Amino acid sequence: MERIWKIIKSYISVLNMHPAVEMSERAYSRKEERDTPLWIHLLLFFVTLITTTIAGASSSDSIGEIILTGLPFSLTIIAILLSHEMGHYLAARYFGVKATLPYFIPFPSIIGTMGAVIKIKSRIKDKRALLYIGASGPLVGFVLSLIASIAGIYYSEIKPLPAVTGDMTIPIFGDSLLFSFITAMIHGEIPAGYDIYLSPYAWAGWIGFLVTSLNLMPMGQLDGSHILYSLIGEKQLVVGWMTFLGLVILSFIWIGWIVWIIMALLFLMIGHPRIDEGKPLTSAERFTGWSCVFVFFLTFIPVPVTFLSGISDARVYPIECEKCRDALDPSGITVFDERILMVSDNDGDSVIYEIVPGETNYQARGFISFRTGYDTVKRDKREELDLEGLARYENSFLIVDERDRKVLQLSHSGFIKVIDNDIDRYGRKVGLRFSSKRNAGFEGIAFDNEKGILFIANEREPATIFLLRMRSDEFIAIDHLNMEEMLRSYVDISDLLFYKGSLYAVHRHARSIVKIDPYKKIIRDSLHYGDVTRGLYSEDASRGFVEGLSINEESILLLLDSNGRKMRKREYGQNGALIIMKRPDGF
């Protein structure tokens, strides 16, 4: 046991680099190594130019297209890496420290390189030289990365995240504080479910920030350790171990940090070898050193990459209706006393259906028929009843009529009446112009029981969610959410649900569910379901879309319309379908 403890103490001593001075003196006293021939540096440079050009190419149709589309990224990232290493090299030469020219490391990957390095071949004499050699690389590389990021983000676009299919995964790259700030200043807040698609220059700038922050970690032989040692001396060892512990903690969040933990334990080390004091640092030099520490915090990315995964555990159930004369066209869903209820927007359909599970499908059967008051409702209508959306309200149900933009209240006994709303009047007041198209009216309804707020969605033109409160037997609009402004794209809403403090809206053509804080007017999250619904029906835009949404603790229920058509290559599905999929944590 004593021997094991001695081995551990000896290894920790190596990590702390306590014997490093003696080892370095012996190493540098040996016969100097021959300089690497210039042609090797040039060869590595040009091979890296090729690999980064291939990695940055957005088209591979021809060699010309690869060069044309790949060079913007390639030249930018090489300029950043070259400036970083030449900063070290020129500072080393200035202080009489022998160093090699940069070695570029070509590597076939999404960026085409593993970076570049120089090799210090003689002893660094004092802390002042150590500061300049350590800081010159990151500062110069940071400035070029900053320029590339600002220009590149300006030319980048905000787009919806792609729909992933099956077991497919898509990388989503994290942001540093500085990169997020630049993005927010240029593009504003990015809605949930969207991301910035980086231009080649911004992508190179992002990598430049990552390289800068990794080099500025204050451990062992990294630039950050050189800089911090020149500022606080042997106290760097404490910060080095704190940094190492921080990486261990972060590895539970992002597994990639394990690579850096292993590198620290094998060859980067934790502490810094002793360097002579030399001439004291000036105030300007100390400011430069602490500026590098500040740059580290600005550019560090705790989770450099995550992966967007497809929904692989969804189940699709066609809906059948043995007693229906015409095919159903589902248009709204709610859950009441563990019953799944739905409405259909067939012209004149006047029933709430219960859908019950069978072996391979769900069966629809009548639950509540419109009885008392139905003739009055029909007499006051301009067009046939067109039911969209279904929500629980006190001891009854609320349904919206799309074409006439009316709110209907239905009791459990079948009594139905119209509850007036002032959305038209409110729209004129705030300057909203509604489309005259028959299929661009009300398309979803939800109710917040705690606050007594009703939400009604106008499908499109404009895609708007209205907040209403009951006053004197009328729903009065008090506010609205402009969904196209919030999502920065064309939007059509097909259903709403209020659940546990959040409003959920189905963004139909984007095949996503948007989670909203309706009172703060903030998009909280977004979930793409396109991998589940795409291809079930013909790609014709008139069918196979989600028209109903319900959520519980474990599951998300999606109701698909059909327009009377069967599922692709199937003999069923003409009454629509119910999809049950796992609800992601936090959504």
Domain harbouring 480, CATH code: 2.115.10
User: Do both 128 and 48 map to the same domain?
Assistant: yes
User: Do both 303 and 376 map to the same domain?
Assistant: no
User: Do both 287 and 400 map to the same domain?
Assistant: no
pLDDT, residue 168, reads: 55
pLDDT, residue 485, reads: 87
Around 324, how many Cα atoms within 13 Å sit in the side-chain half-sphere? 25
d(CA 496, CA 456): 8
Number of domains in the chain: 2
Residues 6+ apart with CB under 8 A from 252: none
Is 554 part of any domain? yes
Is 2 part of any domain? no
Q: In this structure, what token pair is assigned to residue 15?
A: 């990590």
d(CA 311, CA 403): 34
pLDDT, residue 327, reads: 85
pLDDT, residue 104, reads: 96
Q: Are 456 and 398 in contact (CB under 8 A)?
A: no
Is 327 part of any domain? yes
d(CA 122, CA 58): 43
Is 229 part of any domain? no
User: Do both 280 and 147 map to the same domain?
Assistant: yes
Neighbours of 546 (CB within 10 A): 25
Taking Cα atoms as reference points, which of 353, 233, 228 lies closest to residue 290? 228
User: Do both 577 and 507 map to the same domain?
Assistant: yes
User: Do both 347 and 404 map to the same domain?
Assistant: yes
Residues 6+ apart with CB under 8 A from 381: 401, 404, 406
pLDDT, residue 243, reads: 96
Q: Are 494 and 390 in contact (CB under 8 A)?
A: no
Is 389 part of any domain? yes
Domain boundary among 292, 309, 326: 309
User: Do both 341 and 284 map to the same domain?
Assistant: no
Is 431 part of any domain? yes
Is 13 part of any domain? no
Parallel/antiparallel/unpaired status of strands 416-421 and 442-448 = unpaired
d(CA 319, CA 44): 63
pLDDT, residue 23, reads: 37
Amino acid identity of 40?
A: I
User: Do both 449 and 575 map to the same domain?
Assistant: yes
Taking Cα atoms as reference points, which of 428, 431, 429, 423 lies closest to residue 459? 423
Residues 6+ apart with CB under 8 A from 562: 327, 328, 329, 330, 537, 543, 544, 573, 574, 575, 576, 577
d(CA 247, CA 301): 12
User: Do both 50 and 126 map to the same domain?
Assistant: yes
Domain boundary among 268, 290, 309: 309
pLDDT, residue 96, reads: 94
Domain boundary among 284, 309, 334: 309
pLDDT, residue 450, reads: 92
Averaged pLDDT in 10-residue chunks for the chain of 587 residues: 83 78 46 78 96 90 90 97 97 95 94 94 93 97 97 89 57 92 91 80 97 96 96 95 96 94 93 91 96 97 82 77 84 90 82 85 88 63 75 90 86 88 90 78 91 92 91 91 87 92 90 92 87 70 75 91 74 83 85
CA 268 to chain centre: 33
User: Do both 383 and 295 map to the same domain?
Assistant: no
CA 433 to chain centre: 33
d(CA 347, CA 168): 40
pLDDT, residue 195, reads: 82
Q: Are 381 and 427 in contact (CB under 8 A)?
A: no
> Which DSSP symbol is given to 99?
B
Query: HEC profile for 277-343?
Result: CCCCCCHHHHHHHHHHHHHHHHHCCCCCEEEEECCCCCEEEEEECCCCCCCCCEEEEEEECCEEEEE
Is 270 part of any domain? no
Write out the residue range of the structural domain in which residue 566 sits: 317-582
For the purposes of burial, counting CB atoms within 10 Å of the CB of 485, is it exposed (0-12), middle (13-18) or buried (19 or more)?
middle
Residues 6+ apart with CB under 8 A from 152: 76, 198, 199, 200, 201, 202, 203, 204, 205
User: Do both 377 and 292 map to the same domain?
Assistant: no
User: Do both 202 and 305 map to the same domain?
Assistant: yes
